[in-house]
Structure 1
Amino acid sequence: MKFVSMGASLALLIASAGFASAGSWVFNLENKSESHVTSFRTQENGAWSQNWLSENVAPGETFDMDFGTDEGSCVVRTRIDFTDGTYIDADIDYCDISLITVRNKDVVWK
């Protein structure tokens, strides 16, 4: 497992949305797909952030993530890319979650 601390850019993205969340945004990214996850990006003003992952997440692995804040809009557009060239693009609600699971064709969180 790896620990990734989301930097100041994401904190600004979240804070600029102007809505306070209900909990801490610390969660696990679980890869239940058949491909490695190569990137995890969030969107602000129509532009994607840099890759928040320091390395690929292999099938079956879990990656610990921390946005470093619990302020801002709970729902953030997120793109997750795979080594096979596919990706998932979804509005993820980060409030009160502990696990994001990526699968071959979708993403779920709880």
Structure 2
Amino acid sequence: MNQNMKFLLVGLAIAIVISVAAPFLASPAPDGLESSAENVIEESKFAVLEESEPAIQSPMPDYSIEGMGKSGEILAITIGSIAMLLIAYGIGKAAKA
């Protein structure tokens, strides 16, 4: 097994560990981007933005799969992490060619 494949597998293992731990460690408070937006955008405009429909619907909104509880959160984060690693790997392979 070459070094790149070992690196990819270690990255995948770390991503899965973080995916399993994240739902239990995440803060219920708004994230940094949302709290920053609250400080910068007028409250009335922010409320309109929060209530508006997104341009594209997320396949797994709020990092969860509806109706599955914590296991849905773990699964959604794991799927997203693996997808991003595979996309990055594919881009790297394409750039190398």
Tell me which interval the TM-score lies in, with the shorter structure as reference length.
Answer: under 0.3
Choose between structure 1 and 2: higher helix proportion. Answer: 2
Choose between structure 1 and 2: higher strand proportion. Answer: 1
TM-score when normalising by structure 2: 0.22
